[in-house]
Amino acid sequence: MDVKVKKGRSIQQGEDEMGLRKGPWSAEEDTILVNHVTTHGDRRWNSVARCTGLKRTGKSCRLRWLNYLRPDVRRGNITLQEQIMILDLHSRWGNRWSKIAQHLPGRTDNEIKNYWRTRVIKQAKQLKCDVNSKEFKDALRYVWMPRLIERIHPPSETYCPTRISPSQLGPNPSACADGVPVHHQHGLHGSGSGSGSGTEWLNDIYLDSSGVELQSVSSEQLGHNSNNNVSGLCPGFNNQMFEQGNGGDGDLLEILWNDENIWLMRELCDEHEIIKDSFLA
DNA sequence: AAATCCGCCAACCGCAAGACT
DNA sequence: TAGTCTTGCGGTTGGCGGATT
């Protein structure tokens, strides 16, 4: 049996004034507990503690069994799919860890809680916003989850400009057939000196599998004003700016979304020049 | 090589609700 | 019905160990 005994609250290992042990479980204790639960079942934890002679509380026995010894406990890194599940379920239920854990076979509420605290709250700090704020929830929904989805499904199968409404794209959006994956790349169209000139626009170019351009969306169409910043948004789009601590190409991150659940992730440098645009399915 | 920092995660705690007597 | 016990949940702590300085 793979038993870790090095980690944990070893400073408290020993017995308290009641003769109860605290801190990490030893291999011997684990064996005793497993043997007992296997033959008598995982109920009446105080009686488990008494009958086994373990100098542990019933609570401690229960926790050790549920979080570590249970045969169906799944160990190892949280997968991308599991991360998406956690983010999605947390957006619905909040800190209902045990409820969330029920939808992730083999994962414990403790593990999910730890994941949330170490990864998600850290991310909120990097974005300089409260983990319960609307801004951060939007960032999770419109940035993080799509990024995870992207990592599972390559962009060529993910980006689909047919999800952009006709009113946002201008004429002939139907050039992309429903459900047909298209490739997405970025490029500069037009002319001018770039930053600040207001004459050069960064376009999103959609290509079908043969490389034929299907639809271009200029930054102007998406609401950029002549200073090439983001203050002039197109109607129907909300936006939210974030400062990126790290992890991205740009210093600023802008998320745009509309009521049709169409979103755009945009990375900008300090001068608000666009470094990268991504439509997210 | 030593010191410090920091992420990870096992395990503890307090509280609330349900079960039992 | 009231008191006690048990279970389950969410929040928090703090040591380990790898990374960085």
Instruction: Report the predicted TM-score, pTM, of the whole model to 2 decimal places.
Output: 0.59
Whether A58 sits with its Cβ under 7 A from any strand B atom: the answer reads no
- The answer to whether residue A232 scores a pLDDT higher than 80 is no
pLDDT category of residue A219 using cuts at 50, 70 and 90: very low
CA of A242 to C1' of C8 (A): 38
- If one compares A58 and A185, the residue with the highest pLDDT of the two is A58
User: Between A202 and A25, where is the model more confident?
Assistant: A25
User: Is residue A87 pLDDT above 80, yes or no?
Assistant: yes
User: What are the CA-CA distances from residue A164 to residues A50, A54, A155, A172, A257 (Å)?
Assistant: 64, 63, 16, 11, 11
Tokens of A203: 């376009």
Nucleotides of C under 7 A from a protein CB: 5-17
**Highest mean pLDDT of the ranges A30-39, A133-142, A170-179:** A30-39
Q: What is the pLDDT of residue A89?
A: 85
What integer pLDDT is reported at residue A237 of this predicted model?
Answer: 59
Gap between the Cα atoms of A268 and A275, Å rounded: 5
Q: Which stretch, A31-40, A216-225, A269-278, has highest mean pLDDT? A: A31-40
C1' (B7) to CA (A118) span, angstroms? 7
Q: Which protein residues have Cβ within 7 A of any strand C atom?
A: A 6-11, 43-47, 58-59, 62, 95-99, 109-110, 113-114, 117
pLDDT attached to residue A131: 78
8 Å CB contact between A157 and A181: yes
pLDDT at A175 over 60: no
Q: Which of A191-195, A230-234, A273-277 shows the highest mean pLDDT?
A: A273-277
What percent of chain A is modeled with pLDDT above 90?
2
Rounded mean pLDDT of A134-152? 77
| Higher pLDDT among residues A156 and A169, named by residue | A156
Whether any strand B atom is under 7 angstroms from the Cβ of A43: the reply reads no
Nearest residue to C5 via alpha carbon and C1': A46
What average pLDDT does range A139-163 have in this prediction? Answer: 62
Average pLDDT value for residue range A105-121: 87
Q: Which runs of E-coded beta strand occur in chain A? A: 14-15, 21-22, 183-190, 200-207, 213-218, 237-243, 252-258, 263-268, 274-280
- Nucleotide at minimal C1' distance from the A9 CA: C15
Distance CA A54, CA A143 (A): 48
Write out the two tokens for A68. 């570590």
DSSP-derived 3-state class of residue A164: coil
